[in-house]
A and B are shown apart, each in its own frame.
Chain A
Amino acid sequence: MYLRRIFSIQNAAMLGVVIIAALVPLQLGNNQYNMVLATTVLLYAVLASAWNIIGGMAGQLDLAVGAFVGVGAFTSGTLLIRWDVTPWIGMPIGGLVAVGVAVLIGFPMFRFKIKEVWYALVSIALVEVMRVLFLMWGEVGGPTERYLPIDTWSWYHLRFNTYMPYYYILLVMLVIVLLVNRWIRDTKLGYSLLALGEDEDAVEVLGVDVRAAKLKALVIYAFIAGAVGGLYANIYGFIHPTVFSTDMSVEVMILGIVGGLGITYGPVTAAIVLVIIREYLRAKLGGELAGLYLMVYAVVLILVALYQPRGLVPLFNKGWERLKSYWGARQRERGIPTSIENK
């Protein structure tokens, strides 16, 4: 029974996508622009898949990813600039710092009986506040960019003259995050999270410590975001308070919702589609209309929220189911026995 789950269609499809994704850079190799695009897609795919844990499974609207990524970037970047600490160490440390911030916010907000909406508000404000804080904190931040050491090919400094290594690192991270998603789902934490998203009171009475569950989800997600932040700093080559971006928070949330709350492969799918649309818009319209993509994102979000709140990926599932039953019907017409599905 377990084997059957591992070999489900979705897992197979995702494995296929991962393999294709792994081959992409070999094809794009020299086209720098497309490599950047692909890397950006992966970046958002990782963030959105991590966000899925708190936003999709736990059902808490979180808009703090900009804060976690920023804090991770500054931690890892500062460690690299000041003390030549490799980002391989800096990234996990950045993740831990992000966790610290997350717990600071989550602990008071996740208390029983506090309306969940307060967490959402606190989280979106957190990003802006961090930005101002780091702008004022001249020692570490300040108004000018701080550049990371430049190397043509250094695994220690994690600086390269091409995007390819970053791409693969992100790909590995994505696989890990997806596995984490799947793993959570099959354990007590996953069941607790999904249930508390339905009815917090009912779930408390069944023995689920709601606050602890939410905190666990938050911590896992914050760690991943913080670690990604460290990599982010290396990809862009500098750290600056603008890395604390509410736009990023909103975009990640949109990916999570459009993909389908709680659906493991949803955010990845949404990332592929929406980020490509975004870059296309940015390239085509450019200049003053650059902000238009955000309007488009907003409209997509509103439309999805209104008409398909469960996300777009379930639509694919439904389409797939229809195809299967159609095929099954045709086979039956021809008198060929089809496999017995367990329903």
Chain B
Amino acid sequence: MNVESQPLLRTSNLTVTFGRLVAVNDVSLEIYPGELVGLIGPNGAGKTTLFNAIIGLNRPASGAVFFKGVNVTNFLPHKICRLGMSRTFQVTRAFVHMSVEDAVRVGAYNRCNERNVRDKVDEVIAFCELNDIRKRVSSDVGLASLRRVELARALATDPDLLLLDEAGAGLNTTELSAFMNLLTQLNQDRRITLLVVEHVMRMVMGVCQRIFVLDAGSLIATGNPEQVSSNERVIEAYLGKRA
């Protein structure tokens, strides 16, 4: 694992509120290039909100987000994507009426021009093993494949940092193993830094090098899988405080 001194992504006292509800509370974290980091926490902990704030879909009430050293706190998502960050969504948001390859192509235009966009699309589709369904309309595609489509779309933007939001949910054991391999491939072979929100513990413990734990909007623990799984506060958060 090659870790450079400058973090790829850094949040500094990030706070996101909805009216009086504090969804993300003073979160400061750092992610270095090449890492595969997990973000876990009980339901409602604020993981998706944190993602949205990082990628620019939600405006934080206070605090800042730095990507590649640039303060992207109030940037629009497309500008952040241009810089090299992309994400997938928890509830797959497919382009319902578009075909798989057209959807991927939308993402590919982020870095490609008209001349090489088709090659990029072919390459990403091959990598995500979507060749047999590439011409199918997205509404016609099964859930597991839809996940791969969503990943392919984000991958086509040529990101340096990819945020995956519960991409492993609802997959059976074989699909999950395949997905875990895919993640490792993305991280090791393609050198993409990954921040992964997950509930499927097997996946998190299996592939993540480092894990952040969020509870009720606050960061309560960081560390490698062993450290985190034996952390008292983490256990409390998931199982509820002992009486």
Binding site for B on A (CB under 8 A): 112, 187-188, 191-192, 194-195, 198-199, 201-210, 343
Q: Is the beta-carbon distance between A202 and B89 smaller than 8 angstroms?
A: yes
For B98, give its contact among A112, A195, A207, A208 (CB under 8 Å): A195
21 chain-A/chain-B pairs, Cβ below 8 angstroms: A191-B106, A195-B103, A198-B94, A198-B96, A198-B98, A201-B77, A202-B93, A203-B95, A204-B77, A205-B57, A206-B78, A206-B81, A206-B86, A206-B107, A207-B110, A207-B111, A208-B106, A208-B109, A208-B110, A209-B79, A343-B135
Q: Is the beta-carbon distance between A194 and B57 smaller than 8 angstroms?
A: no
Nearest Cβ in chain A — how far from B163, in angstroms? 9
- A191-B109 in contact given A199-B95, A205-B87, A206-B86 (Cβ < 8 Å): yes
The interface residues of chain A, by DSSP majority, are classed as helix
Q: Give bound CA distance, A53 to B219, whole Å.
A: 47
Nearest Cβ in chain A — how far from B29, in angstroms? 20
The total of chain B residues at the interface (CB under 8 A) is 33
Q: Is the beta-carbon distance between A199 and B93 smaller than 8 angstroms?
A: yes
Nearest Cβ in chain A — how far from B55, in angstroms? 6
Q: B98 to chain A: which residues have CB within 8 Å?
A: 194-195, 198
Nearest Cβ in chain B — how far from A210, in angstroms? 7
Q: Give bound CA distance, A205 to B57, whole Å.
A: 8
Q: B11 to chain A: which residues have CB within 8 Å?
A: none
Among A198, A199, A201, A207, chain B packs the most CB atoms within 10 A around the CB of A207
Nearest Cβ in chain B — how far from A49, in angstroms? 20
User: B76 interface residue, CB < 8 Å from A?
Assistant: yes
Query: Known pairs A202-B95, A207-B111. 9 more at Cβ < 8 A?
Result: A187-B114, A195-B103, A195-B106, A199-B93, A201-B77, A204-B76, A206-B78, A207-B157, A343-B135
Q: Is the beta-carbon distance between B81 and A191 smaller than 8 angstroms?
A: no
Q: Give bound CA distance, A318 to B48, whole Å.
A: 42
Q: Is the beta-carbon distance between B157 and A206 smaller than 8 angstroms?
A: yes
Nearest Cβ in chain B — how far from A338, in angstroms? 20
- A210-B78 in contact given A191-B102, A192-B109 (Cβ < 8 Å): yes
Q: Is the beta-carbon distance between B78 and A195 smaller than 8 angstroms?
A: no
User: B153 interface residue, CB < 8 Å from A?
Assistant: yes
Which B residue's beta carbon lies closest to that of A193? B106
Q: Give bound CA distance, A208 to B96, whole Å.
A: 17
Q: Give bound CA distance, A323 to B103, whole Å.
A: 30
- A205-B106 in contact given A198-B98, A199-B93 (Cβ < 8 Å): no
Q: Give bound CA distance, A75 to B105, whole Å.
A: 41
Nearest Cβ in chain B — how far from A216, in angstroms? 14
Q: Is the beta-carbon distance between A206 and B102 smaller than 8 angstroms?
A: no
User: B14 interface residue, CB < 8 Å from A?
Assistant: no
